[in-house]
């Protein structure tokens, strides 16, 4: 895999005219596939596109107008998964020289969904060769690390200005079969079981999600990934929550965009950002949070 110097187009940071305390993260909606990635793939581009949180950036379209800063991945998730940590790989998914640095992989890593995705159901192995050190570091240096630096910088700036910061990490998910109670949700709000944010933020987001008239769960089956786990530090005044939205709420049966339903979600998300911007940690905010 011939590697080029990291370009400036892997991520984008969109800032409003007047900065607010909310930062929106959109890590999986990128649709740019660098030539190096397409050359290295053993599957066609359509298989790699199955990793995308398709059109989540369109749901977040009102973010900046609503006063939030948006950190957006422009490169595709196939390059690197910004919602996984650098140590989240299964040893068997990489070249032998890299294996000693990975241990105790979890279920997703063993399934090939580590910080570099390596396998997909129905597509099999994604890359012509195991991920070697040069490829691994290039993916991280070009994309994963800049994304997290941008989140850190924007959150720190918001906290310094407002005394606190709010991170909303936006994702989409396939439809969850309603096989048991709590597993048919169309919106899942994850706060790492209270570890990544104060209850005031999680309850605000759950309340706004319920306004859509869909089933909403908290931390089931998704409690939040690497982004909210890493950047959510309530003790420092940085509160992070993950939102997963069922793609059937804005895609039709052929996975084509339903413009009217997507606009409704974009309006809802923009209003949620405004609401989150107007609330701060502390008991004195409960009346506002409940409105």
Average pLDDT (208-215) is 96
Residues 253, 256, 259: CA angle, nearest 5 degrees? 110
> Would 20 be classed as within a structural domain?
yes
CA nearest neighbour of 29 among 52, 59, 50: 52
Crossing angle (nearest 10°) for helices 199-210 and 259-277: 150
> Would 110 be classed as within a structural domain?
no
> Would 1 be classed as within a structural domain?
no
**In what helix (H) or strand (E) does residue 24 lie, and over which residues does it extend?**
strand 22-26
Neighbours of 271 (CB within 10 A): 14
> Would 5 be classed as within a structural domain?
no
Model pLDDT for residues 70-93, shown as the tens digit of each residue: 999 999 999 999 999 999 999 999
Q: Which residues pair with 72 in a beta bridge?
A: 12, 26
In terms of DSSP H, where are the helices of 54-132? 56-59, 107-110
Model pLDDT for residues 58-71, shown as the tens digit of each residue: 999 999 999 999 99
Region of 173 (left: φ > 0; alpha: ψ -120 to 50; beta: rest) is beta
Cβ atoms of 9 and 32 within 8 Å: the answer is yes
Does the predicted model carry a pTM greater than 0.85? yes
CA nearest neighbour of 10 among 97, 62, 65, 78: 78
* Whole-number pLDDT of residue 286: 40
> Would 170 be classed as within a structural domain?
yes
Please tell me the total count of domains within the chain: 1
Model pLDDT for residues 95-109, shown as the tens digit of each residue: 999 999 998 889 999
Residue 27 to residues 60, 147, 154, 160, 163, Cα–Cα distance (Å): 12, 8, 15, 24, 25
> Would 115 be classed as within a structural domain?
no
Structural domain of 280: 11-85+131-289
CATH number of residue 36's parent domain: 3.40.630.40
> Would 62 be classed as within a structural domain?
yes
> Would 116 be classed as within a structural domain?
no
Looking at the predicted structure, is the pLDDT value of residue 8 above 70?
no
Residue 227 to residues 10, 138, 217, Cα–Cα distance (Å): 17, 20, 19
């Amino acid at each position: 895999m011939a590697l080029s110097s990291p370009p400036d187009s892997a991520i984008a940071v969109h800032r409003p005219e007047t900065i607010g305390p909310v930062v929106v993260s959109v890590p999986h909606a990128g649709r740019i596939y660098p030539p190096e990635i397409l050359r290295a793939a053993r599957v066609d581009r359509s298989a790699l596109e199955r990793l995308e949180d398709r059109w989540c950036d369109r749901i977040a379209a009102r973010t900046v107008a609503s006063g939030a800063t948006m950190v957006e991945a422009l490169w595709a998730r196939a390059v690197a998964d910004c919602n996984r940590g650098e140590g989240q790989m299964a040893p068997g998914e990489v070249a032998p020289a890299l294996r000693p640095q990975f241990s105790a992989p979890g279920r997703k890593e063993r399934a090939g969904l580590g910080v570099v995705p390596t396998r997909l159901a129905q597509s099999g192995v994604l890359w012509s060769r195991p991920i070697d050190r040069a490829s691994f570091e290039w993916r991280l240096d070009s994309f994963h690390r800049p994304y997290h630096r941008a989140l850190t910088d924007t959150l720190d700036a918001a906290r310094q200005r407002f005394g606190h910061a709010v991170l909303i990490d936006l994702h989409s998910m396939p439809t969850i079969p309603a096989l048991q109670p709590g597993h048919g949700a169309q919106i899942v709000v994850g706060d790492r079981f209270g570890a990544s944010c104060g209850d005031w933020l999680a309850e605000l987001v759950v309340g706004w999600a319920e306004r859509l008239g869909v089933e909403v769960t908290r931390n089931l089956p998704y409690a939040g990934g690497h982004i909210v786990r890493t950047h959510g530090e309530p003790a420092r005044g940085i509160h992070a929550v993950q939102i997963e939205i069922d793609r059937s709420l804005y895609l039709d049966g052929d996975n084509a965009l339903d413009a009217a339903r997507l606009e409704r979600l974009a309006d809802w998300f923009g209003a949620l950002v405004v609401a989150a911007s107007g609330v701060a940690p502390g008991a004195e905010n409960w009346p506002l949070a409940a409105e």
